[in-house]
Amino acid sequence: MARLETVGEALARQGVSRRAFLKFCAATTSLMALPPSMIPRVAAALEAARRPSVIWLSFQECTGCTESLTRSDSPTVEGLIFDVISLDYHHTLLAAAGEAAELDRKQAMEENWGNYLVVVDGSIPLGNPGYSTIAGISNVDMLQETVEGAAAVVAVGTCAAFGGIPHADPNPTGAVGVGEIVKDKPIINVSGCPPIPVAITGVLAQYLTFGQLPEMDELGRPKAFFGQSIHDRCYRRPFYDNGQFAESFDDEGARAGWCLFKLGCKGPITYNACATVKWNSGTSFPIEAGHPCLGCAEPNFWDKGGFYQPLSEVEWGGWTQLGTAAAAGAAIGAASALAARSKQKKAREEEA
């Protein structure tokens, strides 16, 4: 394998001072959702870590996931993480195309066999192979060939993780997520439509720092970002617990910032970090902007009924049951969230 420089060397080469490095480590520690007391350990590990080679494959996708990560034009921490990894192939970002680009991919695989990370965005069509090809290679063939020498696969976005929007009924291309095809490599799912950029870089940072993938939930998602529901961390949760709900988008409750549960919020069954990490550099998140959570980080979110109907009406049993619990106070509210999760798991098992 080619000798890859360390992260410390890469940052020093870019003229990053030690103070700047510590600032970088503070942000990286926060990215990984680790406590700030871990910053010195992260700094020591990052300094000595070798830059991993990353091969990024884009299949049936809208480029929203790549946009989510790369649209910033300033040296953000996410950008720096990208600078310190060795992004050897990303066919959307590469200037080269076709066979020239494919040579880059094969060279990166050869030089880093057994150690490189494969990042996938977009679902993979299992219908006609011609539905989606790159340089004449079908998505499924490219994925299988590329993961052969990979250390692990990161499925970025709900499409790569669970099939996403291409998988929505009637799924004309036979779209599936990475986990339906790759069975012999560790897969980590960073779902979301698109995923929060720091969740993507947080996984890369964890791998960079500790040489291993983070702890995952039952859907293969990093617990640091998907361990708690939107509802659990929502600043409007006290209104849910008090039974104060907006009934329409312009009523008194909506103007007072009450809970959006009755307007279709999927926060209680959606596991993601939007409520704390937020979007657009921490500005806000959909619920803060007055819109219910759509549940975009969950499998089959597009097919779960209307976005604006209470989740209990569309998928998770009777409205009366959850609605009553929601209005009954904190204890019952918490219990209903647990019940929702249990129902969600059961529904998934039934779907499988």
In the complex, the residues that contact other proteins under the rule CB under 8 A are: 16-20, 22-24, 26-27, 30, 33, 35-37, 39, 72-77, 80, 233-239, 255-257, 275-277, 281-282, 284, 288
Tokens, residue 311:
């989740």
Backbone angles phi, psi at 55, to 5 degrees: -115, 120
Residue with smaller CB distance to other proteins, 177 or 267:
267
Residue with smaller CB distance to other proteins, 151 or 274:
274
- Say which residues have a Cβ less than 8 Å from residue 35's Cβ, sequence separation at least 6: 29
* Greatest pairwise CA separation for the chain in angstroms: 63
DSSP 8-state class, residue 259: B
Q: How far is the CB of 306 from other proteins (least distance, A)?
A: 26
Residue with smaller CB distance to other proteins, 177 or 222:
222
Please name the amino acid found at residue 65.
Answer: C
Q: Provide the β-strand partners of residue 54.
A: 87, 117
Residue with smaller CB distance to other proteins, 25 or 150:
25
Q: How far is the CB of 240 from other proteins (least distance, A)?
A: 12
Q: How far is the CB of 17 from other proteins (least distance, A)?
A: 5
Residue with smaller CB distance to other proteins, 218 or 281:
281
The rounded distance, in Å, linking the Cα atoms of 253 and 199 is: 32
The CA-to-CA distance between both ends of the chain, in Å, stands at: 40
Q: How far is the CB of 287 from other proteins (least distance, A)?
A: 11
What crossing angle do the helices spanning 77-84 and 197-210 adopt, rounded to 10°? Answer: 40
Residue with smaller CB distance to other proteins, 119 or 287:
287
Q: How far is the CB of 298 from other proteins (least distance, A)?
A: 20
Q: How far is the CB of 76 from other proteins (least distance, A)?
A: 5
Type and span of the H or E element at 153: strand 150-156
